[in-house]
Structure 1
């Protein structure tokens, strides 16, 4: 294929471009046929890729859109409803109608066949009765000696035949053919000439042309003849007159019935304007295509065939239009109902989806503006799923505002705490050096108690300052408390019984520093723990599964209920109520653990106080 300009196609709706020449470059070189064939190959390939891209894009949009999914589900459900409805109509309407028509066809066929057999049997009985009539066979058998006897015999036969012809206007001919009789013939009822031997054994009804008229004829041998006389009786009827009433259809059948002989020649029919002699002029297709008792549909007619005997058949040719009109009318009504349902439900679904997704879109726009403008959504009076979402959104905004306020407060308290911590770290080396000098002076003066107090004070400041870090090991926090307690014990001459314990396995767990010392300090400041009597303080750190449990208990004065309520409710407490740092413990724990901690205080006035703190171990373990 000769080189040419690049063919570029853009896929509608997706903005992707395909360079046909570059993509099918190798394919173009292999194409050695006519130029238009090569171009069509490339164009077909491009269309295939474009179609794949469109389908892929539609699938992507469908996977990302609840709106499209709902529409797809609606279309599929509507299709299922149509199919189920059509199946129900087919089972309970169309098929019963078709069965009813088949039953009517079989009923009419059986009725017509039975009528024809009865009519034919009636004529057979007439023929059989005449053939056994005593007057006829005696008149044929007697030897007539003179003209008067011949005339009498012929007159007897004539009157006998005329009597039966008078009973039925349908009988056109009753004739006697004889051989061996000496009565001769009258040229109207009795014939000697034209006698045919085979008619003695013939029993079939046959069509014959008599005096230019086609009549249905049957021959019957006359019995009980003597004097070597042989004779048979011939009956002729007009077939349409004889069987016309028998082939009439009933039960609102819009069609015609036909009686045919073994050559498919029409003997009688309910169609007065047929104008045909043979059935081939009526049936679509060949007669051999139809089976006895089987309903066959050909073009716009339904045809069924039923045998009267081995040679005669009854054919019912009924228009299928009447049946199809009923079915089509039912289908039209069902289709109109389904179409109306689909149209109305589509409008209702569209309005509902527009309303729901409009509210969801408004909710999304509010979320986008959430950073700069926290505005609540007006919840409608009616309640639905979207209303529940809007209520939850407003609840979320309330919690968000509350959280923002709490975070601002925590940040403020943290800044205060860091400022106090910074102030306490002013020139720590100067403090440690000074304490070291004081310790040596105490040792030179042999004042071991003062030296021990200085050691505890040094340990206390070293652990509390902790090089500016906010976390300590549990073991270090317990040492800090011990250093403080030792200082207070020396100060108050060990009047308080103090017990400090720690479970093994939790010593390396990290916790915020200075969460126990302020509580112990408040016991000395506000618990009247140094009064006379059996005063006791217990501090413990225990392993509680995934938590570390701290307990600080004393049997001092206790806390009043009003202050205790504020304390457990994490409400603002004046610093002079519990000393410096108590309020900060709440803020520090909230800063590090959020809400995943326990900080409880139980107390009774003049009966002691218990502080219980549970912290998760998720701070990690020092390596």
Structure 2
């Protein structure tokens, strides 16, 4: 920790001290206060929610109990049992109509309960009153519906369900229903029919809406199959409802905090007696803490004001103490970027003034050393260029003289004049009156003179084609750049072929600020293992050294003259030839020193 403190700047240490003494205690106090108030708000919300959900659960339990009690009254009524137990074929129609009136009267009596929307009886289809489609329906209709199949399969005394949507096609509002079988009281193996009581879904919705303790709270009923019976905001559809797995694993009648999606909520569920329903309550934590959050924001605003004020004080204090140090640091950064004109003229007599005095002395010494280094570099660069160039001229001079001798012996003088003229042109261009930089046009003439000499020796074995735009001929290039490459292409490429004949093609183009020449031959090519070592100064054998000296020296001369971005690049395929790329600046600015 102390080592980290040592790396901090002075004004950062001041800020750290202010934060330690003022800001940190305030932040801790604000956090603890908010946490305490948030906990109190949650407890109060839970107490209120417990009271409202308990009341709603009791009301729903009373509703389900009264519904089941009404079913029991109808199922166990002796008169109702006798009327529905009659054989329709043997029971006269007048008596059936009398029974119909009694049954409808009984149903209407039950419908006077404000929570019941309709009482339905599903009786045997043979009765004349079986399909009035108000209170009486055919038993086959019930058994063909999904809820009828579920009732038969479940074996329960009462089965709660939501009717299918096609039952509401005639404008009937959404319903929640409960049904049970009517057994023959004289023979329990026989079924007289099915009783069903419909309750408006809006009745349940109103009770759930009254349970909400915040605007964003959600209260809904869900059965064991996961079906939503009713919810406090029916217009939202399934939106915002947590999956059943979110609350089924939680203990009943307890409140737990869960994250559903990106929202943190308080969640509780409890069973509704007389049904397979669960009353689920979801309260967003942000609404519970809305008032506390506003207070927290006020505290944060006050805290930020204190932090800004403390920062301002620390800034003034650190600026007064570090002004000279920052000035010295700026001068040091200029030195890092290469600017040595950074002498500080005014400084005091204290320890900082002594530091500035030593800095000025260091800059003076450094400037002297840099100037000395520059002069040495210029001298070394010029010497390197001339040394590399001198390695090439004697090598070719020996071959040319040998060629003159051979020509004189073989041809008995006739071609000596032609040979001497070509050789004279070659050396005249090569010497260039002592200049190290010549035009590209002069270099091309030099290369053509060399090819002419070689064709005299090898009976026109080389065809030399040049395709370069005339606008490039005035560009400057170090002399004797092309000739060593042409020589290498002839001696180690074309003349190594079985027929000892071939073509050299020289093309070029401008690439932005650079000139790119391509010297291509159809010689034997260069093996891959040898290609990678041509630019190496350590030749593995004598043959490799002889074949690569021209390429290596030319590459080094271009890099010394123009920098690392320029020079040669080779591509070769054994048996098909070699391409040498020569890259140099279009307007180099190179001065002949």
TM-score in terms of structure 1 length: 0.40
Q: Which has the higher contact order (CA 8 A, sep 6+)?
A: 2
